[in-house]
Amino acid sequence: MTQLSLLKTRRFLPLFITQFASAFNDNLFKNALVTLVTFRLAEEHGLDSGMLITAVSGIYILPYIPFSSLAGRLADKFEKSALIRRIRGSEVLIMCGAAAALIAENLWLLVLSLFLVSTKSTFFGPLKFSILPQHLREEELVAGNGLVSAGTNIAIITGTLFGGLFILSSRGSLKISAGIIGVALVGYISSRFIPRAEAAAPSLAIGGGLLRSTCEMLSYPLSNKNIFLSILGICWFYFFGSVFLTQLPTFTKFSMGGNEQVSTFFLVVFSLGVGAGSVLCNRLLKGRVSGRYLAFSLIEMSVFIVALYLLSLGVRRGSALLSLGKFLSQPLSFGIIFSMLMAAAGGGLYSVPVYAMLQKMTPPTHMSRVIASLNVMTSLAMVAAAAMSAAMLSAGLPVTAIFLALAALNILMIPLANKIKRGSDE
């Protein structure tokens, strides 16, 4: 069976559509909110837009830390397809509330809606990845994870683009409102076709406080060396991606001399690169769950980040920011685009097998809780990424220094990648 053949099966296609709709909708609403705050609501409320956007980003990450333990326990205790249907149904209600907040342009209701959207995603995340090993054979895991990763990246970029493009247009709030409700309905309908996936641990107790439950949840992967190493490997991918994407607008403006069109174009290039690397991974591994290319992908990412830095030194920057057309006419533009694409492709090539190895090594009775533990740790990784970037920028270092630091840290991660590979071979 080829990788794309999975999209013809009921074992995979309804789940793929459901998770694609979820990722698209989250980013459609989130970026519409960010754009609305930046260009309208912050000024109307007398607030600093930069600080407000930072707060909004924090609110989006916040639910993953307290609620992931409960999400993992529920996903292991109950039949998964029914849980997914209930979560998708709740999204329809949440998006109806978000639509009302958009139309009213009520800042605090919008922030509450974003918190609820993120909470919904917190409960869906463990189900999305833990159900794959129940519906796919081992030799299909890399292909399935690759398609999920590629689809997620395409959903993120298209949702982000449409959110920013339509919200400030004529009747933009109505357009976004119709979009988020419509996509939520698509996700709910597709979820009704996901096959049953029986409960992995039906006798699991749900009680206990959130802090205690989180500590108990984290204790299992912490006590299993190979599972913990795989989680650390995925956390590094989130750290890398968070730093790169967060600093991309600054890099575009100050290193490339480009305007918002160029920044958006770079975002598309990066997302397509991760998607291409995710799909390519299955071709290279031929369906095997293996860490063979982990070290290579880290080196490849570092090489092209350094190339991106060196090429940026030769960009001619004027007093006015370059439009996309003018940037593309620059002699070095295609080298810059290729370097960014290849660095991102290395990220896709790196992340997909680590997810598959984690799924292979984790017992079915603990799968959802391990994925929930992963969500907590990746959230902390993104916080650490923001802290590193803030510290370097506060020290007066340019954004290119942050990229070079990423390249160096990638090389330092090679021993971890080799340990993950050995663990998967045991």
Query: Which residues neighbour 160 within 8 Å (Cβ) at sequence distance 6 or greater?
Result: 27, 28, 30, 31, 267
- What's the mean per-residue pLDDT of the chain? 89
How confident is the model at residue 255, as a pLDDT? 87
**For residue 1, is pLDDT > 60?**
no
Where is average pLDDT lowest: 204-213, 279-288, 313-322?
204-213
Query: What phi and psi, each to the nearest 5 degrees, are found at residue 322?
Result: -80, 140
What CATH number should be reported for the domain whose range is 11-197? 1.20.1250.20
The number of beta carbons lying within 10 Å of the beta carbon of residue 412 is 11
188: tokens are 């709910």
pLDDT digits (tens, 9 = 90+) for 91-114: 999 999 999 999 998 989 999 999
pLDDT computed for residue 426 by the predictor = 61
What percentage of residues in the chain have a pLDDT greater than 90?
47
**Rounded-to-10 torsion of CA 142, 30, 166, 156:** -10
pLDDT of residue 49: 63
Tell me, yes or no, if the two domains 11-197 and 217-426 fold the same way: yes
Rounded to an integer, the average pLDDT of 165-187 is 93
Does 309 score more than 90 pLDDT? yes
> Is residue 171 predicted with pLDDT exceeding 80?
yes
Residue 231 one-letter amino acid: I
Euclidean distance between CA atoms 385 and 391, whole angstroms:
10
pLDDT at 217: 84
State the DSSP string of 213-239.
HHHHHHHHHHH-HHHHHHHHHHHHHHH
For the domain spanning 217-426, the CATH number is 1.20.1250.20
pLDDT-based confidence at residue 57 (cuts at 50, 70, 90): confident
Q: Which residues contact 269 (CB under 8 A, 6 or more apart)?
A: 337, 340, 341, 344
More reliable by pLDDT, 320 or 162: 162
Q: How confident is the model at residue 410 (pLDDT cuts 50, 70, 90)?
A: very high
Any residues with CB less than 8 A from the CB of 104 and at least 6 apart, and which? none
pLDDT at site 51: 66
pLDDT of residue 50: 59
CA distances from 154 to 27, 127, 161, 163, 252 (A): 11, 20, 11, 14, 21
Mean pLDDT to the nearest integer, 284-300? 89
Q: Please tell me the distance from the alpha carbon of residue 322 to that of residue 317, in angstroms, as a whole number.
A: 8
pTM of the model: 0.83
Domain ranges in the chain?
11-197, 217-426
